[in-house]
Amino acid sequence: MDRKSLVLIVDDNVDTVELLRKRLRADGYETAEAYNGEECLSLVPECNPDVIVLDVMMPRLNGYEVCNRLKADEATKYIPVIMLTAKSDVEDKVRGLDVGADDYLAKPFDYKELAARIRSVLTTTTAHEKLAEKKRADALEQMMEEVTHEVRNPLVSIGGFARRVYENLPEDDPNKKYMEMIIQEVARLENMIKQLIELKSIAISPIEPVNINDVVTNAIDIFKEEIKDKAIEVRTALMDNPPLIPVDKKQLKRSLCHLIKNSIEAMADANTRLLKIDTRIKEDFMDIRVADTGKGIPEDKFKKIFDPFSTSKTYGPGLGLTFSLKIIQAHGGTVSVESEPGKGTAFTVRLPLKYSG
């Protein structure tokens, strides 16, 4: 399920706030409300809105000052702000735009126009985010290529020399244990490089019509013993008679295994250990949802969970979710995530019913 956009309504007029709250929620938005400028500034870091509808004329701290502070803060400067005011003079509009407002609407306003303005700034923001995401992905690809190229050959030399020194040391030599540690760490880094090379060369074939429920069941079976040992309850809600989906069965199973493994590890210290997996058709897509009751994802790591090396584990390069995403994207699909720290995480894999690769 995609997260609903959250609109923060800021106005000292209770009736205006209530009206906008009802209309926006009816249109499918989440809302948060603030009744003065100071309350707005304290609420923004907490609710992280996608857009702010901000009244200008408020006591204590007016909308211009609020907008100015938001745009001066690196953490909030990119949140779109639509200013509302009873003033319609050109110089008032210019002042609003000068302090960083993304749009400006005079009161009394038509809700349909405001709704259109909100959609417009959200669309623009989404486009900018996608562009930034592509640039970041390209930079990560370049970084992985450089790491693989620059580290691989020295590792081979270090590992080879370390093993030779280790074999030539007497059994009672105290340095032997240190050489053993070096060999183990080199092996770990070599495995990471191997995974990076594999990640760059992921390709899907052969494509064949597959019952997704069978792939899900087979992926769960891989972890049967671990699930039993860790007392994890598994609940599945797989749709009856699903249509056959054209996929690379082996790679899709691998992708789901990474998600399941992530959920199992997230529930290591949880009091309730429940893994829920369901399948369903939504429009022209097959959705596979993998949800757990684990530790959840901290807000500061949420946007980077699919990045290579993004991990909270002590060992391992943190490539599992990266592999999973790359495989699904190669199928023309997407992976979305919902998470709440302390309560759990849900990944939704969305695959097209017809492959167009």
Is 16 within 8 Å of 55 (Cβ atoms)?
yes
Q: Is the dihedral of CA 96, 98, 101, 104 positive or negative?
A: positive
pLDDT at 300: 65
The reply to whether 208-352 shares the fold of 6-109 is no
List the structure tokens of 281.
Answer: 């058709």
Q: Please name the fold of domain 6-109.
A: Rossmann fold (3.40.50)
List the structure tokens of 213.
Answer: 């429920």
pLDDT at 355: 63
pLDDT at 82: 93
Q: Is the dihedral of CA 146, 152, 157, 159 positive or negative?
A: positive
In angstroms, the CA 133 to CA 127 distance is 10
pLDDT at 94: 66
Domain residue spans of the chain: 6-109, 132-200, 208-352
Low-confidence ranges of the chain (pLDDT < 50): 1-2, 312-317
In angstroms, the CA 235 to CA 4 distance is 26
Pairing of strands 103-106, 51-55: unpaired
Is 6 within 8 Å of 46 (Cβ atoms)?
no
CA 117 to mean position of chain CA atoms: 26
List the structure tokens of 321.
Answer: 């979710």
If 0-12 CB within 10 Å is exposed, 13-18 middle and 19+ buried, where does residue 132 land?
A: exposed
pTM (2 d.p.): 0.56
pLDDT at 203: 64
pLDDT at 316: 40
Which numeric CATH code is attached to 208-352?
3.30.565.10
Residues 110-161: tens digit of each pLDDT: 999 999 999 998 888 777 766 766 676 667 667 767 777 788 888 889 989 9
